[in-house]
């Protein structure tokens, strides 16, 4: 009976992995390319992976359990070797091992999961021999797999927002992104403000979206003050904290978030309508992959009594050890969780009193950032704050613009800034003007003409602090999204 349960469990895991990959084929191809496979061969390699996983299933449920277990061991060993190589190189890759069911970053918990499954495969391949030794090894791998997640969930307060500030609605109830996403629906934030004519014209449609799409998409209107139009669900952000968190500089604008990840953003009514339609599509895909696929694929496993073990394994897949720290030293830089000024897309003007200084218009953000000054040195004091590097406002519309040598740019890393008393979401930073060497900026929208028409907050081509930022965020188990280089 134990052998049969092990075979069914192993076959079930590989079946779900194969079916989930087929339902997220585009994501699988991106993941394969990220591992270093040429784009031209990505589809072939992805097909081989799915075929191998289905082969494991057929062998295990057929009369060739030994061959199926050996093939599973080879597959898990190959996957683990590829993961180890990328971890050794300091690369942070998204995992599509189970398609959309396991969106997250590859790491040591992934290896522990593979180790857990490998011990089950070894048990089947050895026909039950060394069962106690393999059982102990499986328990160790299982503990390393789900232990950090269990600890983090036990010690983390319910309702804590992982992205963006907590905002009240008109009744005074406070909403966080975690709470809005509790039903696993995509969330669309639509940003508005009084006096915005385009915003007012869009409100009737926001009202209709909230009423018609409520069971599929959470549409939240975020305004700096209550609107005259009675939109059912409205969040009030008088201090514009969420505007700064999501990099919103114009209204109406919108942001689409699914499964804790920012997927896209839009500005202007037509683009927002398209974004809402995309959210509906994401909701349909999510329902199939997360709910329908799991429900149908797990019927056989539940009847065999092995679904609880599978669910526990899947729960631990995205786990990372919780670091109880607000300040993390990373290779000479400091990753701090505190308020800072973010200048990655800031335009600047020459100082009227000091030719070596450029005054840059930056946003005030609260979260993780990297700098070469210590966290206490960068801590906010009254209206004074320092700038630091972060990708908190980066989305797919950003690009890294390269500007040639000789074009002035502003170095804002670790400089002093003053928060605007009339708008605490903005800060003016005294950045150092640089007139030599090439520069890289997230601003400019990939328009090279702006290199000479605007002084951008920028950095040297090696982007100081970016490597430490990636490494530190990886330790924290939080994904980091860097924009791609603008086309030449």
pLDDT band at 96 (very low <50, low <70, confident <90, very high): low
In a domain, 392, yes or no: yes
Q: What is the pLDDT of residue 306?
A: 38
The token duo for 181 is 């996403």
SS3 at position 162: coil
Q: What is the pLDDT of residue 279?
A: 86
* Per-residue pLDDT at 314 exceeds 50: no
All residues at 6 or more sequence positions from 203 whose CB lies less than 8 Å from its CB, including other chains = 192, 221, 227, 229, 231
* Per-residue pLDDT at 278 exceeds 50: yes
The token duo for 424 is 């605490």
Same domain (yes/no): 81, 223: no
What's the length of the chain? Answer: 488
The token duo for 94 is 């998204």
Of the candidates 269, 294, 357, 337, the one whose C-alpha atom is nearest the C-alpha of residue 478 is: 337
Same domain (yes/no): 4, 97: yes
Q: Which of 87-91, 177-181, 358-362 has the highest mean pLDDT?
A: 358-362
Question: Where do the DSSP E strands lie in 174-248?
Answer: 174-175, 187-192, 218-223, 234-236
Same domain (yes/no): 421, 436: yes
* Per-residue pLDDT at 349 exceeds 90: yes
* Per-residue pLDDT at 309 exceeds 70: no
CB 370 within 8 A of CB 330: yes
Same domain (yes/no): 10, 152: yes
Residue with tokens 């696993």: 184
For the segment 139-189, what is each residue's pLDDT rounded down to a tens digit?
Answer: 887 777 677 655 544 443 333 334 567 788 888 788 888 788 777 788 999
In a domain, 333, yes or no: yes
Between 328 and 144, the more confident residue is 328
Q: Is the pTM of this model over 0.95?
A: no
Mean pLDDT of the chain: 80
Q: What is the pLDDT of residue 113?
A: 84
* Per-residue pLDDT at 296 exceeds 50: no
- Could you say which of 129, 156, 183 is where a domain stops? 156
Same domain (yes/no): 385, 413: yes
Q: What is the pLDDT of residue 163?
A: 54
Q: What mean pLDDT do residues 411-431 have?
A: 92
- Could you say which of 232, 267, 286 is where a domain stops? 286
Domain range spanning residue 106?
1-156
Same domain (yes/no): 144, 173: no
CB 410 within 8 A of CB 388: no
Q: What is the pLDDT of residue 316?
A: 39
Same domain (yes/no): 365, 271: no
- Could you say which of 286, 313, 344 is where a domain stops? 286
- How far is residue 290's CA from residue 296's CA, in Å, rounded to a whole number? 11
Same domain (yes/no): 51, 144: yes
In a domain, 321, yes or no: no
Q: What is the pLDDT of residue 148?
A: 61
In a domain, 29, yes or no: yes
- Mean pLDDT is lowest, of 91-105, 252-266, 364-378, 416-430, for 91-105
Q: What mean pLDDT do residues 270-290 have?
A: 74
In a domain, 322, yes or no: no
Exposure on the CB side of residue 108, measured as CA atoms within 13 A: 15
In a domain, 375, yes or no: yes
Same domain (yes/no): 134, 187: no
In a domain, 183, yes or no: yes
pLDDT band at 443 (very low <50, low <70, confident <90, very high): confident
Between 158 and 11, the more confident residue is 11
* Per-residue pLDDT at 301 exceeds 50: no
Of the candidates 106, 98, 146, the one whose C-alpha atom is nearest the C-alpha of residue 293 is: 98
Same domain (yes/no): 172, 97: no
Q: What mean pLDDT do residues 294-303 have?
A: 38
- Cα dihedral 458→363→368→111 (10° resolution): -70
In a domain, 291, yes or no: no
**Number of domain units in the chain:** 3
Q: What mean pLDDT do residues 356-366 have?
A: 92
Partner residues linked to 367 by β-bridges: 338
- How far is residue 65's CA from residue 7's CA, in Å, rounded to a whole number? 7
The CATH number that applies at residue 231 is: 3.40.30.10
Same domain (yes/no): 142, 183: no
Q: What mean pLDDT do residues 440-449 have?
A: 88
Q: What mean pLDDT do residues 270-289 have?
A: 76
Same domain (yes/no): 427, 351: yes
Calculate what percentage of the chain has a pLDDT beyond 90.
Answer: 24
Between 351 and 91, the more confident residue is 351
- How far is residue 96's CA from residue 102's CA, in Å, rounded to a whole number? 6
For the segment 55-81, what is each residue's pLDDT rounded down to a tens digit?
Answer: 999 998 887 888 888 998 898 898 888
Q: What is the pLDDT of residue 79?
A: 85
């Amino acid at each position: 009976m134990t052998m049969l349960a092990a075979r069914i469990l192993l076959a079930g895991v590989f079946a779900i992995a194969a079916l989930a990959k087929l339902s997220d084929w585009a994501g699988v191809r991106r993941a394969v390319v990220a591992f270093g496979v040429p784009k031209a061969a990505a589809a072939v390699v992805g097909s081989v992976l799915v075929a191998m996983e289905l082969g494991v299933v057929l062998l295990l449920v057929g009369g060739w359990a030994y061959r199926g277990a050996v093939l599973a061991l080879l597959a898990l060993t190959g996957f683990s070797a590829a993961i180890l190589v990328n971890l050794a190189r300091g690369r942070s890759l998204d995992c599509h091992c189970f398609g959309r069911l396991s969106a997250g970053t590859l790491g040591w918990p992934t290896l522990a999961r593979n180790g857990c499954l490998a011990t089950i495969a070894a048990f089947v391949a050895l026909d039950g021999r060394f069962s106690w030794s393999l059982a102990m090894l499986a328990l160790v791998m299982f503990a390393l797999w789900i232990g950090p997640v269990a600890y983090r969930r036990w010690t983390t307060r319910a309702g804590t927002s992982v992205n963006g500030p907590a905002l009240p609605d008109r009744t005074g109830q406070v909403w966080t992104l975690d709470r809005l996403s509790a039903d696993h629906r995509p969330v669309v934030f639509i940003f508005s403000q009084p006096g915005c004519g385009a915003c007012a014209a869009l409100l009737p449609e926001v009202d209709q979206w909230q009423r018609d799409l409520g069971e599929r998409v959470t549409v939240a209107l975020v305004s700096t003050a209550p609107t005259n139009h009675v939109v059912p669900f409205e969040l009030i952000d008088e201090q514009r904290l969420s505007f700064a968190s999501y990099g919103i500089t114009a209204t109406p604008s919108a942001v689409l978030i699914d499964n804790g990840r920012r997927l896209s953003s839009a500005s202007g009514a037509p683009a927002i309508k398209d974004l809402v339609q995309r959210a509906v599509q994401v909701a349909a895909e999510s329902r199939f992959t997360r709910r329908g696929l799991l429900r149908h694929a797990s019927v056989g496993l539940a009847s065999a009594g092995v679904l609880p073990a599978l669910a526990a394994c899947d729960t631990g897949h995205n786990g990372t050890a919780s670091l109880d720290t607000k300040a993390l030293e990373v290779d000479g830089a400091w990753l701090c969780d505190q308020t800072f000024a973010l200048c990655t897309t800031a335009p600047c003007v020459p100082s009227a009193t000091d030719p070596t200084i450029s005054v840059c218009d930056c946003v005030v953000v609260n979260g993780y950032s990297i700098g070469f000054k210590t966290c206490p040195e960068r801590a906010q004091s009254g209206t004074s704050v320092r700038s630091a590097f972060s990708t908190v406002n980066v989305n797919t519309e950003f690009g890294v613009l390269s500007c040639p040598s000789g074009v002035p740019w502003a170095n804002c890393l670790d400089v002093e800034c003053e928060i605007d008393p009339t708008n605490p979401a903005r800060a003016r930073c005294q950045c150092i003007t640089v007139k030599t060497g090439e520069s890289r900026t997230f601003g400019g929208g990939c328009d090279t003409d702006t290199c000479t028409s605007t002084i951008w907050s920028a950095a040297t081509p090696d982007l100081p602090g970016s490597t430490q930022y990636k490494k530190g965020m990886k330790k924290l188990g939080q994904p980091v999204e860097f924009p791609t280089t603008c086309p030449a």
